[in-house]
Amino acid sequence: MSKKITALTPDQEQLLPQIRDGWLDAGLSTRPANWHDAALGIHAAYLAAGLRPPRIIIRVASPWAGVFARAIAPEIIACHFDLVGDQVGAQVDDQVGAQVDDQVRAQVDDQVRAQVRDQVYAQVRAQVDDQVRDQVYAQVYAQVYAQVRAQVDDQVRAQVDDQVRAQVDDQVYAQVDDQVRAQVYDQVRAQVDDQVGDQVRDQVGAQVRAQVDDQVRAQVDDQVRAQVDDQVRAQVDDQVRAQVDDQVYAQVDDQVGDQVYAQVRAQVYAQVGDQVRAQVGAQVYAQVDDQVYAQVGAQVRAQVRDQVRAQVRDQVGAQVDDQVRDQVGAQVDAQVRAQVYAQVRAQVRDQVDAQVRERLPNWWDGRMLGQHWAAYYSYYYTMGQLGVTECRRLAGQMLTALSAGWWWCYQDFAIVTDRPAELHRDAQGRLHRAGGMAVRYRDGWGFYAWHGIRLPADLFETGVPSLERILKQPNSEVRRCAIEMTGWDRLERELGDPVATAADPGNPGRQLALYDVPDGLYETPVRLVLMTNGSPDRSGAERRYGETVPADIDDPLAAQAWAYGVPRSAYAALQRRT
Amino acid sequence: MSMTYSEALALSHVSLPEHLEAEAEVPVLSGPQAQGDLIIVPVSQAYEGIEQTPFWPQGKILPLEGVQVVHGEATGNTHWLHAGFNSPGVSWHRADRDLVIGVVTVPAGQSAMLVHTDEHGANGIAPGTYEIRQKRELADEIRYVED
């Protein structure tokens, strides 16, 4: 056994904040996914776990779309291979020409038939589930299907098979290592983030801990069998449809000639559609989940992690371990996992629970968090830099985390999701945005948040909500956040008569007004001062806004003085406000 | 000793908002002034009738490029403190104690300039010692206000 690393050199210590910033950048990134690198990383991650890489990697725009894609992909893949093989294989061959290797295709077909279809598709035949024959399914289905077909064609041409695995292994590793290294260092240079948030983690930790045990819930639900919600389907449908039309079909057009396309469409797509749509059911999902999903996920994730961890334990002393955790992992964790990931996950979980729980159970199985595991990877990345060679086994996962959002790993296929297009946070790193979604993905899925509190989207869909509507929200924290997000100025007319008004010193012609706040918003008794900015904003508009003060203050000048922590006399003597 | 808006904003490399008059003079004042969520208040008035005035240590001479008094994480807007014309003796002590961000001291015959990079323009500060304070609100927690 090699000698333990028990202290960091000055150079290594200097490296820690740089690595931290590099991973923070990845974890909070809103750049479009680098699909190529993400796929490369996924291949390497499977290989590192001793598994054959997936033949099919399906891209979707958001975690929410991923939840659907993971559920329906197995049937589509199975049917596709099945029908291509049996019905139109020969015709596709003619069109594509001599590039297609019969042997490879046959092998792919055989393997897929053996491993996916036999487990999954046989079950499908026994099932008729009317509920699944709906638009959500049809749309996601079309998207996944198109991607599967394009990729199968590519892969057959490229002749990827088991026999070259050993070769691929070495090449992928070398490439992945180089890319991970290059990316982290590029990002390090571009980043300055002097925010440290241990206290932030504590705040949000409470939210995370409060969450209900997902597994228990899903089990209970299996027996409950809720009704399908039409509205939900329509909503998801809209989100997915735009993507399908704009992206997928364009891609298919690029890759497949018109003639082949029409032929395949008529002979495969239509038939697969009829058969699959009618035949997918809850039991199939459960079966797939139990037998395939969890195993691959556990292997890629836990097994590799355990091995890497064991070597870190052997080779790194406790003190260095603590130092890396404190200076790299904990800080990335506080911002990425505790703030962003916890909220995205909670939103997906709530939506699944409220809308499609029974049809999409176990959506978390096989899930890898990609960029949201930045903290976890930052720790092992650092250990790798300190010389723990086993950390290379995580290089594939790291590359994917540097390139994309969540992903799901299953036998023979993977789902990978884009990063968000927008991510807005407050000074403490909590998700926060006035006037729009705090997190928004490129398919439009996302959610509103105010200082780390998620708010229901329907509250804002029809513009500025009324005071009455806000006060009807069942959760007091949501009420308070909704009102602050709306802006007190927009609600001033609904507040009734002010307790007192006064001219604002140093701000000629403008008034301060002190109001009582409607019941049910704050635990602490507060009053509200409404004031007007001393300078118009860049649009030339004069902005009026409200701030809350202790309720025992009954004079607007005293309220402002309290806010600045100065005597009333000092505020009253204000000579100029800008 | 006085400055126009365009001169003051140029200190922070900030373009002049269209609604501000470029050649208007920024008044240099010795009393309390507010700039959005910040207040500039003479130390002599900040504790009137409340408690003993704290002892603030002597600050450091302002660097040529000024200091960022507050940098808004969310908005990217910054309140900059700069020395005025011929004002090499202006000093700044960062306190970060409760609401007091720092203390600026302007020697006799000199001036300082607080500049907001977005809409608030500029405030001129006459000789004296001032606290620059931020604002809080009470919303089930004490929160600092940031514009």
CB contact under 8 Å between B36 and A547, yes or no, is: no
For residue A466, the SS3 value is: coil
What is residue A95's predicted lDDT score, i.e. its pLDDT? 36
CB contact under 8 Å between B138 and A526, yes or no, is: yes
CB contact under 8 Å between A570 and B48, yes or no, is: yes
To the nearest whole Å, the CA of B82 is away from the closest chain A CA by 17
Question: How many domains, chain A?
Answer: 2
CB A288 within 8 A of CB A116: no
**Interface residues from chain B to A (CB-CB < 8 Å):** 17-20, 27, 29, 31-36, 39, 41, 45-50, 72-74, 98-100, 116, 118-123, 133-140, 145-146
Q: What ipTM goes with this model? A: 0.93
The two structure tokens encoding residue B33: 């002034």
Out of A419, A444, A478, a domain closes at: A419
Mean model confidence pLDDT for chain A: 70
CB contact under 8 Å between B73 and A426, yes or no, is: yes
Task: Give A413's strand partners.
Answer: A56, A410
Is A472 part of a structural domain of the chain?
no
Residues 6+ apart with CB under 8 A from B11: B66, B80, B82, B113, B115
Torsion of CA A39, A41, A42, A45, to 10 degrees: 170
Spatial separation of the C-alpha atoms in residues A2 and A534, rounded to whole Å = 67
**B74 chain-A contacts, CB cut-off 8 A:** 424-427, 432
Residues A413 and A495 in one domain: no
The answer to whether residue A540 neighbours chain B at the CB level (below 8 Å) is yes
**A565 chain-B contacts, CB cut-off 8 A:** 98-100, 133, 136
What is residue A190's predicted lDDT score, i.e. its pLDDT? 40
Spatial separation of the C-alpha atoms in residues A499 and A377, rounded to whole Å = 55
CA distances from B120 to A173, A538, A577, B36, B116 (A): 54, 9, 9, 7, 5
Residues 6+ apart with CB under 8 A from A331: A20, A24, A196, A197, A198
CB contact under 8 Å between B140 and A578, yes or no, is: no
CB A331 within 8 A of CB A376: no
Segment of A87-91, A108-112, B22-26 carrying the highest mean pLDDT: B22-26
Q: How many CB atoms lie within 10 A of CB B114?
A: 27
For residue A339, the SS3 value is: helix
Residue A165 reports pLDDT greater than 70: no
Residue with tokens 């870190």: A312
Spatial separation of the C-alpha atoms in residues A306 and A457, rounded to whole Å = 40
pLDDT tens digits for B27-65? 999 999 999 889 999 999 999 876 677 889 989 999 988
CB contact under 8 Å between B46 and A480, yes or no, is: no
pLDDT band at A48 (very low <50, low <70, confident <90, very high): confident
CB contact under 8 Å between B41 and A548, yes or no, is: no
State the average pLDDT over residues B63-90: 86
Backbone dihedral region of A448: left (phi > 0), alpha (psi from -120 to 50 degrees) or beta? beta
**Residue in A427, A523, A577 nearest the CB of B74:** A427
State the average pLDDT over residues A304-317: 87
Is A390 part of a structural domain of the chain?
yes
Out of A403, A419, A435, a domain closes at: A419
Is A258 part of a structural domain of the chain?
yes
Q: Locate the chain A residue with the closest alpha carbon to B51.
A: A567
Characterize the bridge pairing of strands B25-26 and A576-577: unpaired
- A/B interface, count of CB pairs below 8 Å: 126
What is residue A170's predicted lDDT score, i.e. its pLDDT? 56
CB contact under 8 Å between A567 and B27, yes or no, is: no
Nearest Cα neighbor of A35 from A360, A402, A464 is: A402
State the average pLDDT over residues A150-173: 49
The two structure tokens encoding residue A329: 């992992």
Residue spans of the domains in chain B: they are 3-144
What is residue A50's predicted lDDT score, i.e. its pLDDT? 82
pLDDT tens digits for A311-321? 888 888 888 99
For residue A305, the SS3 value is: helix
CB contact under 8 Å between B34 and A426, yes or no, is: no
Q: Locate the chain A residue with the closest alpha carbon to B117.
A: A538
Q: Locate the chain B residue with the closest alpha carbon to A544.
A: B36
pLDDT tens digits for B83-110? 998 899 999 999 999 899 999 999 999 9
Is A337 part of a structural domain of the chain?
yes
Contacts 24+ apart (CB under 8 A), A482-487: A482/A450, A482/A455, A483/A521, A484/A450, A484/B139, A485/A434, A485/A435, A485/A448, A485/A450, A485/A455, A485/A460, A487/A434, A487/A545, A487/A546
**A570 chain-B contacts, CB cut-off 8 A:** 32, 41, 45-46, 48
The answer to whether residue A435 neighbours chain B at the CB level (below 8 Å) is no
pLDDT band at B1 (very low <50, low <70, confident <90, very high): low
Backbone angles phi, psi at A526, to 5 degrees: -135, 160
pLDDT band at A153 (very low <50, low <70, confident <90, very high): low
**A522 chain-B contacts, CB cut-off 8 A:** 139-140
Q: Locate the chain A residue with the closest alpha carbon to B97.
A: A565
pLDDT tens digits for A92-149? 333 333 333 344 444 444 443 443 333 333 333 333 233 333 434 455 566 666 776 6
CB contact under 8 Å between B120 and A540, yes or no, is: no
Is A315 part of a structural domain of the chain?
yes
CB contact under 8 Å between B36 and A578, yes or no, is: yes
CB contact under 8 Å between B140 and A524, yes or no, is: yes
Spatial separation of the C-alpha atoms in residues A381 and A177, rounded to whole Å = 11
Residues 6+ apart with CB under 8 A from A396: A40, A41, A42, A43, A44, A45, A46, A47, A48, A172, A176
Spatial separation of the C-alpha atoms in residues A336 and A354, rounded to whole Å = 26
**B96 chain-A contacts, CB cut-off 8 A:** none
The answer to whether residue A480 neighbours chain B at the CB level (below 8 Å) is yes
CB A79 within 8 A of CB A275: yes
CB contact under 8 Å between B121 and A535, yes or no, is: yes
Lowest mean pLDDT among A47-56, A124-133, A157-166, A250-259: A124-133
The answer to whether residue A508 neighbours chain B at the CB level (below 8 Å) is no
Segment of A17-21, A553-557, B67-71 carrying the highest mean pLDDT: A553-557
Residue with tokens 């002393």: A317
The two structure tokens encoding residue B110: 């000199």
Segment of A7-21, A144-158, A480-494, A554-568 carrying the highest mean pLDDT: A554-568
Residues A73 and A205 in one domain: yes
What is residue A174's predicted lDDT score, i.e. its pLDDT? 60
**Residue in B47, B120, B145 nearest the CB of A578:** B120
What is residue A253's predicted lDDT score, i.e. its pLDDT? 46
| Residue, of A387 and B127, whose pLDDT is higher | B127
What is residue A460's predicted lDDT score, i.e. its pLDDT? 82
What is residue A283's predicted lDDT score, i.e. its pLDDT? 36
Residues A493 and A409 in one domain: no
Spatial separation of the C-alpha atoms in residues A208 and A203, rounded to whole Å = 10
Nearest Cα neighbor of A299 from A65, A53, A40, A117 is: A53
pLDDT tens digits for A377-406? 888 888 888 888 888 888 888 889 989 999
What is residue A173's predicted lDDT score, i.e. its pLDDT? 54
What is residue A125's predicted lDDT score, i.e. its pLDDT? 30
Residues 6+ apart with CB under 8 A from A356: A136, A229, A232
Residues A381 and A271 in one domain: yes
**Residue in A524, A538, A577 nearest the CB of B17:** A538
Domain of A538, in residue numbers: 487-572
Residues 18-37 of A with CB under 8 A from B: none
pLDDT band at A90 (very low <50, low <70, confident <90, very high): very low
The residue type at B25: E
CB contact under 8 Å between A533 and B140, yes or no, is: no
What is residue B118's predicted lDDT score, i.e. its pLDDT? 74
For an interface test with A, which of B50, B130, B138 has the most A Cβ atoms less than 10 Å from its Cβ?
B138
What is residue A204's predicted lDDT score, i.e. its pLDDT? 36
Residues A44 and A191 in one domain: yes
User: In the sheet that A544-550 helps form, which strands lie side by side, from edge to edge?
Assistant: A500-503, A511-516, A526-532, A544-550
Segment of A215-219, A268-272, B54-58 carrying the highest mean pLDDT: B54-58
State the average pLDDT over residues A17-32: 89
Is A181 part of a structural domain of the chain?
yes
CB B121 within 8 A of CB B25: no
